[in-house]
Amino acid sequence: MCDLYDDDEFYGVNQGYTTLEGIAFPEGIRSLYCGYNKLTSLVGCPEGVEVLICDYNKLTSLVGCPSTVRELICSGNELTSFEGCPDSVTSLNCSDNRFRSLSGCPPNLTSLNCDNNDLTTLYDCPLSVTALRCYNNQLTSLVGCPYKVEELHCGSNLIETLNECPPHARVIDCSGNLLTSLVGCPQDGSLKDLDCSRNRLSDLRGCPPSVRKLDCSDNLLVSLEGLTWSGKHSSVQDLVCSHNRLTSVAGCPPIIESLDCSYNFIRDITELTHVRFFKGRNNRMKNGGNFSFVEYNQ
């Protein structure tokens, strides 16, 4: 069995190795894949590597990681700290580990994926981060979320409020939390894509008027009226509001093009004259002569 293979993008270490020491790496390696082995240490990793994928090993430390690494994927290990992680890293995927805090995280990160850990806070998250994934942790708030974050995925946590939400976010996925209100969402016109499904929302007040794609399914909504802001309709064009308690589509923005309102109690959609893509399973409704639908799934 050869130690290394070359697929034109990465040098790869064949599966089954417990150490990188003793492997005769060619000079000039910039990208190294050593995932799905049995590594317990990165000692022996060649200096000069800029992209390192060492996911799904048995690492308990990042000691030995070259000081030249810019992109590091170390998901699926047994890491509890960032010991050994070089400051040169700007893109880090440390999902599926055992982190309880972000203390010691590389200070110059712009992209961080810390999904599926045991985090209870975002304190110590580097202020330079603009893309943040912290899905499926134990977070109760967004305190500590960096100001510059533009894309935030914080689903499947225990978050009760969107206060401290980054003010200029373009994309927010806060699904699967304990939210009862959307107050705290960015109101500066930047937010375009919002997924607040699987929460405890009874209304949509606080939904920014700039949102174009909204998923508010699996909540406790009885009305869509929160989509009207200061007397003007929102910008929502793609709306998923299935699995709620809606009895009408009142408040639905007039410019909406795609609507999924399945599993509600809606009877009439005659006012939706611009919808082209429609799903309405498990409702008792009439189309009312609206023949503009390209897709009609009842």
170-201 pLDDT, tens per residue?
A: 999 999 999 999 999 999 999 999 999 999 99
- Rounded to an integer, the average pLDDT of 46-55 is 97
Asked if the model's pLDDT at residue 46 lies above 90, the reply is yes
Asked if the model's pLDDT at residue 9 lies above 70, the reply is no
Q: What is the pLDDT of residue 294?
A: 44
Q: What is the pLDDT of residue 288?
A: 45
Question: pLDDT band for position 1 (50/70/90)?
Answer: very low
The predicted model scores a pTM of 0.92
Q: What is the pLDDT of residue 273?
A: 79
Q: What is the pLDDT of residue 289?
A: 42
Most confident among 20-24, 76-80, 229-233 (mean pLDDT): 76-80
Q: What is the pLDDT of residue 234?
A: 75
Q: What is the pLDDT of residue 3?
A: 55
The per-residue pLDDT for range 224-247, each reduced to its tens digit, is 988 866 566 678 999 999 999 999
Q: What is the pLDDT of residue 126?
A: 98
88, 110 Cβ separation under 8 angstroms:
no
The per-residue pLDDT for range 117-149, each reduced to its tens digit, is 999 999 999 999 999 999 999 999 999 999 999
pLDDT, mean over the chain: 91
Asked if the model's pLDDT at residue 2 lies above 90, the reply is no
